[in-house]
Every structure is written in structure tokens, then in C-alpha cells.
Amino acid sequence: MPSPAPHTYLKTRAALLAKQLFSPERLQQLLESSLDTLYQEFGMESLAVLPGAESAINRAVERALMHTLMQELGVLLRPLAGEGRDILMHWARKFELYNLKALIRGKLQGHSFADVEQNLFDLPALISLPHDQLLRTENVLELLRQLEQGHYADIARQARQVYEEKNESFSLDAAIDRSYYLGLLRRIRRIGEADRSALHSLVGTLIDQQNLGWLLRYRFNYGLAPSETYYLLVPFGHHLHRDRLLDLVNLETFPQVIEALPGRLSEPLAGVGDLLDLEWRLERITAAQAHHDVRFSASAVTRSLAYLVLREMDLKHLYAILQGKVLGFTEQTIRSALGGTPVKAELRDNGAVDV
């Protein structure tokens, strides 16, 4: 049983923070605002006078948004201890893993120190890899030897196999993602009962979103066999469990997979035409679950995690808008990059989602 005082405090903090989440109207308003207004509104006035290329501005924007997210994570972590804290920190490790993927991919493709460094997130020391040490390795084998000695030894083994035998980096990406989600699930299994089931359904929704995207991509874009596709998935989703995934990977076409999804997924995904459309809809389904959890979940850790999931989505949207405006794209183009006119997905009482 979580002690009530910090958890009440955490729920209050999450509720206060949730007030700044973007509604569809707010997102629309951001789309229509000028770049200067956006800079001013989000405290990035210094970027308005930043000399240099568009890529440098985009990078500065990305850093500022990441800084915001990490600060809010810090606020939510403060009253937490034990597994709850560990879960939120593990969630944030996804950014460290993005960096790890960029590092390995950069080295595999022989990119320079500066090129790889430009593609890394600036992260707080709490979740950051020793980038400098890894970046200064002079070839792939040296990088792998460094990784083999640390926390990511299993990933390094996989990377070595990719490098020495297959040279297909997507299986490495999948291995990294699998290890991330399995780590998250392991932590959820260790947390108290009061939080466990709520966290499981939120994280399960995130896993469903990943699994379905991967399944369709591996099967129909990369042409992988059912067995290999299944091996690359995480069979612990909310709606897509092991048996369902075993059935789905055996299907032969994209529409067959969509039709065979359980009702709560097939309904909002009905008529989906391509992977991009699917990803937007899946994101809305996840957003609906997270919005529901932020408002109603009895577990303070789940509310906090749901808030972080939504905030990350919002900041990604904001980044897309700012990036689009820096590059001089039209409002219409930016809107299409966001998946069309902003709409709010709602989770119905029976667990189904309207998107």
C-alpha cells in the first residue's frame, strides 16, 4: 500500500501539470501562431535572435523541449521512492536508448564524431550514457567492446552479431526496444498491487502501439517470416497478448491483420490504409488511454506516467510545428505531418476508443 501523503501530493502535482496538456483547439491555435509568438509563449525568446542555420535552431528547440520534459520528470520524481520512482526513470531511459541506437548506427555507418553527436539528445546525468567515452571510440569493434563492459552488454552482443553477420540494423533496434519494454514490465511486476494493474494497462497500450506497428512493418514492408516477426515483438500487450500475436503474424495481408484485431482495436483502426495512418490512429488510442489515466486512475504513479506520455506527445507536436515554421512550411503541410486536423480521442466506458 503506497503511503498516502506523497501519493496525494503526486496526484495533485500530476493534475496541476495536466492542465498544460494541449487540447485539439490549443494545438490548432499553435498551428496558426507565428514563430515569434511561439518562441515567446514557450520561453525560447533567445532562439528568435539565434544566428546560424535552420538545423542549429531546430536542435536548440529540441534541446529546450527536452529540458522542459526532464524538468517536469524531476518534479514528479521528487516525492517518489522505490519501484514507482524506478518506473518513471526507466520510462525516461527511452531517450537514452534513442541515443544508443544513434551511436551504434552512426558507428556502423562510419559517421564522424561530430555527425553522431549532433543527433544525440542532451540528457540529465541520471539517465545518460557516457557519450563522450563511446563517441571517442575509433571503430565499431572498439565501441562494442566498451558497451560489452557495461550495463548494455546484452545489446552489445546483439550489435556484434548485426555487425559481424547480418548487418541489418532493424533487428538491433528491435532488440533494444524489446529490452526496454521488458525492463518496464519487470519493474511493474515488482510494484505494489495498488499500482500494478493500472500501470499494466497503460504500458500494455504503449506496447500494443509498438507491436502492431512493428508487426505490419516487418511482415509486409521488410518481408520477414512469421517466426522472425514474432520473435521481434513483445508478447505482453494490453489487447495484443501472446496468442493473438501468434495468430496475427501468420496472416498474409495488411487488411487481414487489421480485420483480425480484437474489437477494441479493430473498431478505431477500421479502414486504415497505410502504416503512417495506422501510427497516427494508434497514437490517438494511446493518448485516449493516457488521458483517462491522468484524470481517473487511482494510482498516482500511473497518473504521473500517463502525464509524461501525453506531455511527450505534445512536445513532439510542438516540435513538429516549430520545425515546420522554421523551415517555412505551410500550415497545411505541418497539419498533415501531425496526422490531419487535431481531434481528441476518447476512451469509452467499455474500454473502446473513439478516434
Partner 1 sequence: MFSPQPMKHVLLQVMTEDLPQVSLILAELQVFGPDYRPFHDSQYRSIPGQRFRELYHRAVSRLQKISGHVRIGSQVALNELHVVREDELEETDRWLGETWDRCSTFEENLRHQSEEQQLLDQLEQALGNFGELNIDLGLLQGERMFLDIRLGMIPRTHVGQLKEAIALANYLLFPYLEHDEMVHVIVVGPKGERERELGSVLDTAGFRPLTIPVELQGEPSRVRIELQKRRLALKQASNREREIARQFASEIRERLEECQRTLVMAEPFVRLDTAVRTGGYTSVISGWIPARDVRRTERALVAGLSNPLHIEVRNPLPEERPLVPSYMPDNRLMAPFATLVKQYGIPRYGEVDPTAIFAVTFILMFGMMFGDVGHGLTIALAAWLARRKLKSFTLFTICIGFSAALFGIFYGSLFGYEGLFHALWLPPLSDPLYMLSVALMWGIGFLLLISFVSIYNRFIQGDLTRAIFASNGVVSTLLYASLLYGIYNLYREGSFGVPAASVSILALAVVLAYKLTETQASAGERMLVAVVETFETITGYISNTLSFLRVAAFSLNHVALAIAVFTLADMMNSTQGQVLMVILGNLFILILEGAIVTIQALRLEYYEGFSRFYSGDGREFKPLRLNLGGTP
Q: Which residues bind partner 1 (CB under 8 A)?
A: 136, 138-139, 141-142, 145, 154, 157-158, 161, 165-166, 171, 174-175, 182, 224-228, 230-232, 235, 242, 246, 249-250
Containing 353, the helix (H) or strand (E) segment is: strand 353-354
Smallest distance from partner 1 to CB 230, Å: 5
Closer residue to partner 1, CB minimum distance, 241 or 316: 241
> Residue 181 in contact with residue 234, Cβ under 8 Å?
yes
Closer residue to partner 1, CB minimum distance, 57 or 288: 57
Smallest distance from partner 1 to CB 55, Å: 19
Smallest distance from partner 1 to CB 133, Å: 9
Closer residue to partner 1, CB minimum distance, 138 or 349: 138
Smallest distance from partner 1 to CB 341, Å: 31
Task: Please state, in angstroms and rounded to a whole number, the distance separating the CA atoms of residues 208 and 233.
Answer: 10
* Residue 240, phi then psi, degrees to nearest 5: -100, 90
Smallest distance from partner 1 to CB 231, Å: 4
Task: Please state, in angstroms and rounded to a whole number, the distance separating the CA atoms of residues 133 and 60.
Answer: 23
Smallest distance from partner 1 to CB 163, Å: 12
Closer residue to partner 1, CB minimum distance, 171 or 302: 171
Residue 232: CB atoms within 10 A of its CB come to 21
Smallest distance from partner 1 to CB 142, Å: 6
Task: Please state, in angstroms and rounded to a whole number, the distance separating the CA atoms of residues 203 and 116.
Answer: 30
Our measurement of the distance from residue 298's CA atom to the centroid of its chain's CA atoms, rounded to an integer in Å, reads 24
Closer residue to partner 1, CB minimum distance, 175 or 300: 175
Closest CA to 163 of 149, 147, 181, 183: 147
Closer residue to partner 1, CB minimum distance, 59 or 160: 160
Alpha helices in the chain (DSSP H): 4-18, 24-32, 35-41, 45-48, 54-77, 82-108, 113-118, 131-135, 140-148, 153-161, 169-190, 193-216, 226-231, 242-249, 254-259, 263-269, 275-296, 300-326, 331-337
Question: What are 258's three cell numbers?
Answer: 487489421
Closer residue to partner 1, CB minimum distance, 41 or 154: 154
354 by DSSP, 3-state: which?
strand
